[in-house]
Amino acid sequence: MRQSKLFTRTYKEAPKDESSYNAQTLMRAGFIDKLAAGVYTFLPLGLRVHNKICKIIREEMDAIGGQELLMPALTPKEVWETTDRWAHFDALFKLTGGDDKEYALGATHEEIVTPTVAKQVLSYKDLSLSVYQIQTKFRNEKRAKAGLMRGREFSMKDMYSFHPNEESLNEYYKIVQKAYFKIFERLGLIDQTYLTYASGGAFSKYSHEFQTLSEAGEDTIHICQQCKIAINQEIIEESKGCPHCASTDLQAQKAIEVGNIFKLGTKFSAPFNFKYRDAEGNERPVIMGCYGMGPSRVMGTIVELAHDERGIIWPEAIAPFQVYLLALNQDKEADKLYEALKTAGVEVLYNDLDLGMGEKMADADLIGCPYRILISPKSLAAGGAEIKRRNSTESVIVDLKKVVDYLKK
């Protein structure tokens, strides 16, 4: 894409009304715009990144048999009363319609998915199954100061699984755990992300969070130095050492919760009276699990982790474009290379703006595409285009005809 066709611009200064690094930088670079505290617009660059994160998550959820659906955000009071959460779920945004009907904005969807799936499941033959959605969620947060990491409106992948018995849930729970680590690997977060024990509720002793180390994190986790799992702050007091290996050698670190998985048991199937008939014809309760991961929070987390003082350093898998192309007095050569890259299917953002080289270089670093390609009299004299990776200080000169091959290898 030509940057002249992109309606957004970059800013030198950070916005004054935003305190988080991720939102400041994403706003400066033209990825997001702030509408209100914790409420952001995804501008074209930001939407591209967000969609790529969603695609990775979707592929891994599909790979473990998740069936995608899309539930409403406007949810009637009655379903929340059924589980006694209307009165007790503080973060619910509540509203009243013209016909005096009361609604909550979906902050999570157990209350919707349970009766929806219950209508479709009659017998053990229909189980187990899992469904998921990637959808906008709303939470009436008191504070919303962490940019994309804690929004009043944000995106969420929420998966729910339904099982005939506990063994089936336990098996699937492990499968989801693996799929989550696969996602964090693809997102470039695997090295900093810890499986973290958290409190479990009535059905299970523990639930699990996926916590990514970051000084910007709102959470503190305690990493077992022996087996490299972690324990969250909430249960550290009652935990006598690591729940996995019993070691007491734990180290506290700041972290961002990028996912969580939870064995729900019959917590939601019971109030909705969701039962199935087993092979002998007996009615039995359905056992549930739930699995959350927020694409917008993941995006904010990656910005917190992958940046330097000049801007963002996107991992290739989710970069808005793979290549940032710019030219010094060599627009003709740059135009030609731009077309060649597009034809070869390389995602390229071409800074064709009427700006000085310093400003173009600053844009390149701020926006943070993995490869910067510069064509200048100097690079041509040296033999072609100068290619530099965003996360490196080294550059190489590549013959203009070989740039596509270079990028594809």
Residues that bind its own copies (CB under 8 A): 5-9, 30, 33, 35-36, 39-44, 46-47, 50, 65, 67-76, 79, 90, 93-95, 97-99, 101, 103, 105, 112, 116-117, 119-121, 126, 129, 131, 136, 138, 140-142, 152-153
168 versus 395: smaller Cβ distance to its own copies = 168
Token couple for 289? 């699990």
Q: How far is CA 200 from the centre of its chain?
A: 23
**Minimum CB distance to its own copies, residue 154 (Å):** 10
Residue 79, H or E segment:
helix 77-82
Cα-trace Rg, the chain: 24
3 versus 196: smaller Cβ distance to its own copies = 3
How far is the C-alpha of 94 from the C-alpha of 59, rounded, in Å? 33
β-pairing verdict for 371-375 and 323-327: parallel
**Minimum CB distance to its own copies, residue 72 (Å):** 5
**Minimum CB distance to its own copies, residue 47 (Å):** 5
β-pairing verdict for 250-265 and 219-224: antiparallel
Q: 401 near 45, Cβ under 8 Å? A: no
105 versus 374: smaller Cβ distance to its own copies = 105
Token couple for 17? 């009304």
**Minimum CB distance to its own copies, residue 108 (Å):** 15
**Minimum CB distance to its own copies, residue 71 (Å):** 5
The one-letter amino acid code at 198 reads A
70 versus 381: smaller Cβ distance to its own copies = 70
74 versus 357: smaller Cβ distance to its own copies = 74
**Minimum CB distance to its own copies, residue 12 (Å):** 14
Q: How far is CA 401 from the centre of its chain?
A: 37
Sign of the dihedral through C-alpha 394, 399, 404, 409: negative
39 versus 252: smaller Cβ distance to its own copies = 39
Q: 258 near 212, Cβ under 8 Å? A: yes
How far is the C-alpha of 317 from the C-alpha of 298, rounded, in Å? 13
